[in-house]
């Protein structure tokens, strides 16, 4: 007989950017985490903020792990499954480091702000100086800590920069309530008001959006 896994509410190993995301979420709210992996964020939100936090994950092994840890996670695909949630079902819909990997980022964002009052989006910044430098100096696709797979096998099919994302929000009519740039470990970088600097030195961007 297998030993029973304890219900795990991960905080120790939680990626630091998840801690930044958690910092944007009010206690007691309804949260959907898209691409939740093993459910680290939703476990943390339930335990520390009494949130009704749920997850969708496309990798079945991660889903199995999350459910075995007592976390409400369903197998699903951001490109397909968001359409099945009712309007305003959540206070926050989170997409952490996955925007660049979905097939239709614009449609996914629309769904997020349909089913949630607010959307929290983080993504690796393709405008980072190292990425720019590698492309300029070698003429080949950059390989960095954040962009660590060769072009032919990367799941990151829609890379974008922090400035690109600002433009998209403008086009779609989303209000950027908060934003910040962080290094790859998720530590906050100090270019809060200077988006051009953030776009050059931030390894990832983190945005809190709502409808206008």
Partner 1 sequence: MPPVASGAGRSYAIAAMDQPATRTDPANSSGHTHIAFDDGITLECGTPLRRHTVAYRTYGTLNADRSNAVLVCHALTGDQYVAEPHPITGKPGWWDTVVGPGRPVDTTRFFVICPNVLGGCMGSTGPLSNRELPDGTVIDEPWGTEFPPVTIRDMVRAQKRLIEYLGIDRLFAVLGGSMGGMQVLQWAALYPDAVFAALPIATASYHSAQNIAFHEVGRQAIFADPDWQNGQYWRSGRIPARGLAVARMCAHITYLSEEALTRKFGRRLQNAPKDSTEAISLFGEMFEVESYLRHQGSTFVQRFDANSYLTITRAMDYFDLGADCGGDLATAFKGSRTRFLLASFTSDWLFPTTQSRSVARALNRAGANVSFVEFPTDKGHDAFLLEEPDFHRALAGFLRGCAVHAGLETGE
Q: Which positions touch partner 1 (CB under 8 A)?
A: 1-2, 4-9, 47, 52, 54, 60, 63-64, 66-76, 81, 84-86, 89
Mapping DSSP to helix (H, G, I), strand (E, B) and coil, where does residue 104 land? coil
**CA–CA distance, 8 with 161 (Å, rounded to integer):** 35
Q: Least CB distance from residue 65 to partner 1, whole Å?
A: 9
Parallel, antiparallel, or unpaired: how do β-strands 52-57 and 73-75 relate?
parallel
Q: Least CB distance from residue 20 to partner 1, whole Å?
A: 24
Mapping DSSP to helix (H, G, I), strand (E, B) and coil, where does residue 177 land? strand
Q: Least CB distance from residue 7 to partner 1, whole Å?
A: 5
Q: Least CB distance from residue 107 to partner 1, whole Å?
A: 17
Cβ proximity to partner 1: between 53 and 146 the closer is 53
**CA–CA distance, 34 with 36 (Å, rounded to integer):** 5
Cβ proximity to partner 1: between 86 and 139 the closer is 86
Phi, psi torsion values for 45, nearest 5 degrees: -65, -35
3-state helix, strand, coil in the chain (%, to 5): 35, 25, 40
Cβ proximity to partner 1: between 75 and 189 the closer is 75
Of 85, 92, 114, the C-alpha closest to 172 is 114
Instruction: Write out the two tokens for 26.
Output: 């009010």
Mapping DSSP to helix (H, G, I), strand (E, B) and coil, where does residue 19 land? helix
Q: Least CB distance from residue 80 to partner 1, whole Å?
A: 9
């Amino acid at each position: 007989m297998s030993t029973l896994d304890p219900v795990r509410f991960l905080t120790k190993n939680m990626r630091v950017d998840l801690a930044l995301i958690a910092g944007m979420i009010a206690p007691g709210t309804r949260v959907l985490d898209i691409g939740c992996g093993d459910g680290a964020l939703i476990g943390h939100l339930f335990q520390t903020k009494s949130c009704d936090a749920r997850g969708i994950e496309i990798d079945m092994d991660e889903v199995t792990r999350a459910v075995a840890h007592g976390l409400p996670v369903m197998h699903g695909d951001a490109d397909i499954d968001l359409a099945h949630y009712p309007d305003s079902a959540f206070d926050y819909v989170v997409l952490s480091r996955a925007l660049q990997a979905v097939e239709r980022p614009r449609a996914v964002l629309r769904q997020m702000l349909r089913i949630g009052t607010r959307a929290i989006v983080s993504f690796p910044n393709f405008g980072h100086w190292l990425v720019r430098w590698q492309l300029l100096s070698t003429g080949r696709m950059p390989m960095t800590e954040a962009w660590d797979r060769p072009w032919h096998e990367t799941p990151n099919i829609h890379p974008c920069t922090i400035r690109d994302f600002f433009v998209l929000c403008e086009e779609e009519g989303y209000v950027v309530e908060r934003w910040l740039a962080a290094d790859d470990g998720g530590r906050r970088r100090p270019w809060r008001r200077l988006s051009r600097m953030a776009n050059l030195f931030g390894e990832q961007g983190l945005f809190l959006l709502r409808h206008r």
